Amino acid sequence: MRESLSSLAQQPWDIIVIGGGITGAAVLREAARYGLKCLLLEQRDFAWGASSRSGKWVHGGLRYIKEGQLNVTWHSVHEREKLCRELPGLINMKSMHWPLFKGQIKNELMIRAGLFLYDAMAGKRWRQRVKKEQLLADFPGLQAPGLKGAVCFYEGQTDDARLTLRIIQEAQKEGATALNYTQVTQLIKENNSVCGVTVQQEGSSETFNIRAHQVIAATGAWADDLRQQIHSDTTQKLRPLRGSHLVFDQHRLPVKSTLILEHPQDKRPGFITQFQGRVIVGNTDIDHRQNMQRDASVTGQEVDYLLQTVQHYFPQYGIQRQDILATFSGVRPVVDSGADDPSKESRDHIVWYEDGLITIGGGKLTTFQHIAVDALKRIQRRFPQLRELDTGAPLLASPDHPYTLADFSVGQTERLSGRYGGALPHMIQLAGEDDLSLIPGTDTHWFELIWCARYEDVRHLDDLLLRRTRIGLLLKNGGADYFPRIRALVQTSLGWNNQQWQQEISRYQQLWKMHYSVPDSEVVQLNSAPEKRLRENQNDI
């Protein structure tokens, strides 16, 4: 049950974390591990921003080697190995194929050298050679003149929103409190030092002041907004970069693994991969000029850009815009170094300490625990409990039990266990026999909706369909064909009367059409080069 804000305002807090993405979740989890009394506040839903709209990769950052960002790659590789070991079913190593072409000896040597260093950092050999025949079997219809095979290596794939939620749930087991749809409207300062926040819950005009010994802002691409509350003349430090993706039915684009492909025009690497029964094509990397208070949206230019890759390498399928099931875009909180090309910006993180406020900027999904520990090191002197901070501490308080479920395959059981942990047996008990089946076209079971609606802080329909589960991304029209059955499963648990249900349906459909559907084509060519960089109107949706 959610405690009232009035009750929370009367309690003494060690740490308030602002932001319910993966970084805020990690800070909450690590601080709670050491017995600190912690509160997390998220103005929208958990993982609402980039933490539910990434490319779904827990990866070492192979391309960062080329950019000289060896520190980022080192930490990323080690965190990737740790995460895949500790969270099977939620993060799994997946094969990736980097094609090799005749006559491109220099490029091939660079790829092999990078992968050699990659494996050296991991302490094991993941890479292997794949013959052309096998590559074409995994990617039927692939057409690439001069193709002679590929180098296969491995990265972790995850459901980023579920990963974020599991980390929050681990923190809650340690006694932490986390609230979604609770906005920090103002920072409280005394003696020129931030000592609390003013908050307001969605749907209420009443505000409350909550104080803490330390406030930590982990708001991703929105971090500069809070920093400017302290000093209105604060120089912007972050460069919001948008990465957009397309989702296809696997029957329409029948790839069996992951393929790294250079765009036919600007040669920027992208990927095509399987994800929860569908195929994702990604991604772009451009300056985000849209309204930051709205969901990020793919533009027609980006759709055309990503489609060009599919059409170039898989021409026989005749893929067009009408074949796209859904789109999604996330905004990366990259630290601005002034690079002309957005893709050359560093993916390393930074921690600012200004007037008592700690702000985290930059970073990657993969290194969330490393980033959290780094931020907490800045306040070790204030909290003796943090003197034993351990970057290698396990994410889960206790390993997941290796369940054996009679009605599910080994792969399904591992997936469910990874996503829900110890809750899985209780989920099964709540499910009716008809609810044990898969939702057509996805890897999601009907009973997952029941559990999420009842126990996982769902406030709106998009929380359930776009983040607790991903069926809003995986089904045509955001799953509209299944609204009657979804209603029968979750309406009572959510406590919505018929009018509220219709309001939520309308809200969800409007949101999905605006931010997750396919926009009209645009004439302007997407390019990340400085003289052609996409400049969108500040008022664009």
pLDDT in tens, 359-381: 998 888 999 999 999 999 999 99
Could you tell me the pTM of the whole model? 0.92
Is the same domain home to 383 and 414? no
Q: In terms of domains, do 363 and 420 share one? A: no
Q: For residue 124, is it within any domain?
A: no
232 shares a domain with 175: yes
Q: Which helix (H) or strand (E) holds 155?
A: strand 147-158
Provide the domain count of the chain.
2
Q: 381 and 431 share a domain?
A: no
How does strand 258-262 pair with strand 91-101?
parallel
**Residue 25 belongs to some domain of the structure:** yes
The span from the CA of 288 to the CA of 521, in Å, is 19
- The whole-angstrom separation of Cα 128 and Cα 333 is 34
| 492/418 same-domain check | yes
Per-residue pLDDT tens digits for 302-343: 999 999 999 999 999 999 999 999 999 999 888 787 777 776
Whether 350 and 422 share a structural domain: no
What tens digit of pLDDT does each residue of 67-122 get?
Answer: 667 777 888 888 898 999 999 999 999 999 999 998 887 777 888 887 888 788 77
pLDDT, one tens digit per residue, over 124-156 is 788 889 999 999 999 999 998 999 999 999 999
Whether 375 and 444 map to the same domain: the answer is no
In a domain, 189, yes or no: yes
- Spatial separation of the C-alpha atoms in residues 170 and 268, rounded to whole Å: 38
Domain end (from 323, 355, 388): 388
Is 43 among the domain residues?
yes
Q: What angle do CA 394, 398, 400 make, to 5 degrees?
A: 105
396 lies in some domain: no
Domain end point (choices 337, 358, 388): 388
CATH (domain of 365): 3.50.50.60
| Together in a domain, 46 and 167 | yes
Q: Domain limits at 212?
A: 5-50+161-237+345-388
Q: Are residues 384 and 416 in the same domain?
A: no
Q: Is residue 154 part of a domain?
A: no
Angle between helices 160-173 and 22-33 (to 10 degrees): 20
Nearest CA to 17 out of 372, 261, 283 is that of: 372
